[in-house]
Amino acid sequence: MEWFRSIPDETHHRAFLKDVLTLVLDEAVFKANRRGEPVIRWRLPQELLSLIDVQTRDQPASHEELLAAIKATIDFSVKTGHPMFINQLYSGLDPYGLAGQWVTDALNPSSYTYEVAPVFTTMEEAVLQNMRALLGYPDGRGDGIFCPGGSLANGCAMNLARFKAFPSVKTEGLHGLPRLVLFASEDAHYSIHKMAALEGLGEAAVRSVTCDSQGRMDLKALEAEIQVAKRDGVHPFMVVATAGTTVLGALDPLSAIADVCSTHGLWLHVDAAWGGGLLFSKEHRHLLAGIERADSVAWNPHKLLAVPQQCSTLLVRHEGLLKACHGRDATYLFQKDKFYDHNLDPGDKYIQCGRRVDVFKFWLMWKGKVCILK
Ligand SMILES: *Cc1c(COP(=O)(O)O)cnc(C)c1O
């Protein structure tokens, strides 16, 4: 078997890409998302396999065959841009977002250093700062990263909170640390448990706080859980509040939880993966009052704001903490003697090395349609 690397042949490939673009515009963007069209042409797996040849072959397919395969792929995929697709908290097809995604994909950047992604790294900083300003951090100060999803954003917040309380965890791991616990409501997203397991805290480190009848974290129950933990001799370090619970869309009482956190010296993380979008609304942003006191906030613009998947962020109040916690100073990437201020290189704030650019589609939507009313 030989793997042929395509060197773009302008005439041949331009014709192919134009055909693909026409097909996508017709079948995936406009026609497919009309109300009369189905959200999905559902087929059971065996039937689907008879309609689409999912196997790769030993011989290259022709452009006609590839176009037919693309058409079938579109036909039998879920139309998430359809007005009737309201599943799992993301939906809609935004033309600016799609254009941004196309431009990003054509350039195929990786966003670790200024030199390899000069426009995008600068844009990321601008957008993250504007998001922090919307949160209510003074002058948008603080820090932030784009994340491969809200689950990972929550996990990073947990790691940062632990590092802030016990910086030795970066070099020594959990060895010598007291048993750590955090608090989240019973309706918090399941990623909190997942990340606690991943980070060596264990699922049992997540102390579940009961909710009121509206699905909001009950403050008395939170106080009681903190007392129980202290009595158990374990070390509370964090509260995860949710702004927009996954099932009910409930908003935990952020200001009151922030008071509890400052009384007990706990990191406040707000999981606003879903509800963060309310900050763009003059009418509804008051529902998130208190979020400006959070140490960190997870916010997925790909949910309420309908930015194409994936666009998730973690915003942090503490400057420099991301780099201190995640940094590794790899000398082949993050040299200190560049022609520009090496602090413009965002890469070492991140867990990932190579990283997709998720900012441009959001930036283009923000640029093209947002009207912020003061
Ligand atoms: C969707 C959601 C998450 C997870 O985000 P992903 O991007 O799907 O990983 C976390 N928390 C809340 C409240 C959510 O709604």
DSSP string, 25-87: IIIIIIGGGSTTS-S-----HHHHHHHS--S--SSPPPHHHHHHHHHHHHHTS--TTSTT---
- Tell me the pTM: 0.95
Helices (H), the chain: 10-23, 45-51, 63-75, 95-107, 118-135, 150-165, 169-172, 191-198, 219-232, 254-264, 321-326, 359-369
- 174 and 117 fall within a common domain: yes
Domain residues for the domain of 154 are: 105-369
What percentage of the chain has pLDDT greater than the value 70? 98
Question: Residue 156 and residue 322: Cα distance in Å, rounded?
Answer: 9
Cα of 5 from ligand 1 centre, angstroms: 37
Per-position b or e across 342-363, b if 16+ CB within 10 A of its CB: eeebbbbbbebeebebbbbbbb
Q: What is the pLDDT of residue 1?
A: 61
In the three-class reduction of DSSP (H, G, I as helix; E, B as strand; rest coil), residue 171 is classed as: helix
Query: 8-34 pLDDT, tens per residue?
Result: 788 999 999 999 999 999 999 999 899
Cα of 150 from ligand 1 centre, angstroms: 5
Total domains, the chain: 2
CB of 269 sitting under 6 A from ligand 1: no
If pLDDT is split at 50, 70 and 90, which confidence band does 4 have? low
Q: Say yes or no to pLDDT of 269 above 90.
A: yes
With the most atoms of ligand 1 within 8 angstroms of its CB, the residue from 186, 195, 271 to mutate is 271
Q: What is the pLDDT of residue 224?
A: 98
Residue 357 falls inside a structural domain? yes
CB of 149 sitting under 6 A from ligand 1: yes
- 306 and 167 fall within a common domain: yes
Residue 99 falls inside a structural domain? no
- 164 and 257 fall within a common domain: yes
With the most atoms of ligand 1 within 8 angstroms of its CB, the residue from 89, 146, 189, 311 to mutate is 189
- 181 and 63 fall within a common domain: no
Residue 90 falls inside a structural domain? no
Q: What is the pLDDT of residue 334?
A: 77
- 15 and 147 fall within a common domain: no
CA distances, 271 to each of 8, 250, 336 (Å): 44, 12, 35
Q: Say yes or no to pLDDT of 374 above 60.
A: no
Query: 218-263 pLDDT, tens per residue?
Result: 999 999 999 999 999 999 999 999 999 999 999 999 999 999 999 9
- 116 and 42 fall within a common domain: no
CB of 140 sitting under 6 A from ligand 1: no
Question: Once rounded to an integer, what is the mean pLDDT over residues 34-46?
Answer: 94
Residue 38 falls inside a structural domain? yes
**Interacting residues of 157 by C-beta distance below 8 A, sequence separation 6+:** 240, 267, 269, 295, 296, 298, 314, 316
What percentage of the chain has pLDDT greater than the value 90? 84
Query: 314-330 pLDDT, tens per residue?
Result: 999 999 999 999 999 88
Cα of 6 from ligand 1 centre, angstroms: 37
If pLDDT is split at 50, 70 and 90, which confidence band does 372 have? low
- 53 and 170 fall within a common domain: no
- 70 and 217 fall within a common domain: no
- 283 and 327 fall within a common domain: yes
If pLDDT is split at 50, 70 and 90, which confidence band does 369 have? confident
Residue 4 falls inside a structural domain? no
With tokens 């009848």, the residue in question is 213
Residue 89 falls inside a structural domain? no
**Any idea what the CATH number is for the domain that residue 187 is in?**
3.40.640.10
Query: 195-221 pLDDT, tens per residue?
Result: 999 999 999 999 999 999 999 999 999
Residue 92 falls inside a structural domain? no
Cα of 182 from ligand 1 centre, angstroms: 18
Question: Once rounded to an integer, what is the mean pLDDT over residues 1-5?
Answer: 67
- 202 and 346 fall within a common domain: yes
Closest Cα to atom 3 of ligand 1: 150
Domain boundary (22, 48, 83) is at: 83
CB of 300 sitting under 6 A from ligand 1: yes
Residue 95 falls inside a structural domain? no
- 136 and 46 fall within a common domain: no
Residue 214: cis peptide before it, omega within 30 degrees of 0 = no
- 257 and 148 fall within a common domain: yes
Contact predicate 260/289, CB 8 Å: no
Cα of 139 from ligand 1 centre, angstroms: 27
Q: What is the pLDDT of residue 100?
A: 98
Question: Once rounded to an integer, what is the mean pLDDT over residues 303-321?
Answer: 96
